[in-house]
Amino acid sequence: MNIPFNKPHLTDKEMGYISNAHALGRLSGDGFYTKKCHSWLEKRMKTKKALLTHSCTGALEMMAILANVKKGDEVIMPSFTFVSTANAFVLRGAIPVFVDIRPDTLNLDEKLIEGAITRKTKAIVPVHYAGVACEMDTIKKIARRHNLLVLEDAAQGVFSKYKGKNLGTIGEMGAYSFHETKNVISGEGGAILVNDPKFVERAEIIREKGTNRSKFFRGQVDKYTWVDIGSSYLPGEVIGAFLMAQLEKAAEITKKRIRIWRKYHKAFAELEERGFLRRPIIPETCEHNAHMYYILVKNLKVRTELLEFLQKKNILSVFHYIPLHSSPAGKKYGRKHGSMKVTNDISDRLTRLPLFYDLTTQEIDHVIKSIHTFFEKKQK
């Protein structure tokens, strides 16, 4: 048995849709399947406008342009996140201001946000870690009070909810990822959700190289031209076709992942009671998508031992995030506000376990048993 950390799942529809996209005679962006994905996402997520992008990174870059952040502006975000959250804004000359996370959800600590706001602050970027929602009502209230945008990095939060609302649809804009390590995939891929209608028209322009080509295709202008800054953020039809197959199976994929997540969760309850580890905490306001199962062990030493032990058992378990505030580029382009105590601590202790659609019962049992064996041995 050799258990990888992730294995991309294939439904039985991707190849047929791709071949059909070719037969339809158009492989560039915004063809039949891409449009189908757009309306599927708009209907399912209840948002004004969903547009596929080549990655969540691309969607975040679009949000930074749409938010009009300029050189020297500040954007509040966690340090415990993927590089793209920060990079998207740094590319516009803005400064990521890192704020510590909550010890329970590992999300941006909403109580620390207001202290980090200055005259230069333009936006708050909540990242829904492991598909578990940030405290969005509080974050939105703070944003309203200070006239800031809320831009959600919902890369891991596709099909998760906060108080019944889909993640990515709560702020002015949201970014999704369909990278192969996420729940629903297209290899590389993402989407921007434009929830505030005032950004829709410019979003289409920025995504199409700064041209009004989308309007042209709808017959609203008789020729298209360069009207704004922009880039090529749209994926080709092969990606749209692949993604459509996955979206159609999304409910089943989520259900299966939740089953695996719960199995892990139940199996580790006793180890948590005995003080060996801490399991994820899901607030009542949140319905999560089982994007990730992690455990928090005592310290870096135990984690290093555990990862090595699991590797010997042919299980690939991995840690997550060197905090951005301590990375070379983070130090150069960002600044931290206040202590990063929780971020530093969690980053040393977090261990992610294999969780993917095709994980078998025997494989799950092997992971669970191995972790139990590790801690039993430690106790002796």
Ligand X SMILES: *Cc1c(COP(=O)(O)O)cnc(C)c1O
Question: Which residues here bind ligand X, judged by CB under 6 A?
Answer: 55-57, 81-82, 84-85, 127, 153, 155-156, 177, 179, 190
Can you tell me which residue has the tokens 């804009």? 173
End-to-end Cα spacing for the chain: 27
CB of 177: closest distance to ligand X in angstroms? 3
Instruction: Tell me the CA distances in angstroms from 201 to 207, 265, 302, 306, one per residue in order.
Output: 10, 44, 52, 50
Closest to ligand X by CB, 189 or 210: 189
Give me the sign of the Cα torsion angle 41, 46, 48, 54: negative
CB of 129: closest distance to ligand X in angstroms? 7
Closest to ligand X by CB, 60 or 95: 60
Closest to ligand X by CB, 20 or 231: 231
Q: How far apart are CA 161 and CA 289, in angstroms?
A: 8
Half-sphere exposure of 241 (CA within 13 A, CB side): 22
Closest to ligand X by CB, 179 or 278: 179
The structure tokens listed for 102 are 């909550």
Q: H-type helices in the chain, by residue range? A: 14-23, 32-45, 56-66, 83-90, 110-116, 136-146, 200-207, 213-217, 237-248, 250-267, 269-273, 300-312, 328-333, 341-349, 361-379
Closest to ligand X by CB, 55 or 289: 55
Q: What's phi and psi for 165, nearest 5 deg?
A: -100, 140
Closest to ligand X by CB, 133 or 271: 133
CB of 333: closest distance to ligand X in angstroms? 17
CA 146 to chain centre: 26
The set of long-range contacts for 277-280, using a CB threshold of 8 Å and a minimum separation of 24, is 277/375, 280/130, 280/132
Q: How far apart are CA 185 and CA 244, in angstroms?
A: 10
CB of 183: closest distance to ligand X in angstroms? 11
Closest to ligand X by CB, 59 or 149: 59
Closest to ligand X by CB, 87 or 121: 87
Residue 252's CB is within 10 A of a number of other CB atoms, namely 11
Q: How far apart are CA 234 and CA 231, in angstroms?
A: 9
CB of 233: closest distance to ligand X in angstroms? 11
CB of 181: closest distance to ligand X in angstroms? 7
CA 347 to chain centre: 17
CB of 153: closest distance to ligand X in angstroms? 5
**Residue 326, amino acid:** S
CB of 167: closest distance to ligand X in angstroms? 11
CB of 152: closest distance to ligand X in angstroms? 10
Closest to ligand X by CB, 90 or 364: 90
